[in-house]
Structure 1
Amino acid sequence: MIRRARSTTSRPATRVRRLAAAAVSAALVLGLGACSGDDDEPDERDSSPSAAGDAPVPTRVSIGRVAGELDARRRAEVKASVAEVVDGWIDAAYVGGEWPRGDFADYSDALRDFTPDTKRRAARDRRLLTNVAIGDRVESVQATRRVLQIDVLAPGGRPVGATARVLVRFRTDGDVRRVDLVRGRLMLTPTKKGWKVFGYDVSRSTLTPGDKPGEKSDRGNEKTGTTNGKGERR
Structure 2
Amino acid sequence: MPSSPANDPKIRILLVDDHQVVRIGLRSLIELQPDMTVVAEAAGGQEAVHAFARHHPDLTLMDLRMPGMSGIEATLAIRRAYPAARVLVLTTYDTDEDIYRALEAGAAGYLLKNTDGHTLLETIRAVHAGTYQLPAHISRRLAQRRAAPELSPRELEVLRLIVQGLSNKEIGAVLGLAENTVKNHVKMILDKLEVADRTQAATTAIRRGLVRLT
TM-score, scaled relative to structure 2: 0.23
Structure with greater proportional helix content? 2
The structure that has the greater radius of gyration is 2
Structure possessing the higher relative contact order (Cα contacts under 8 Å, 6 or more residues apart)? 1
Structure with greater proportional strand content? 1
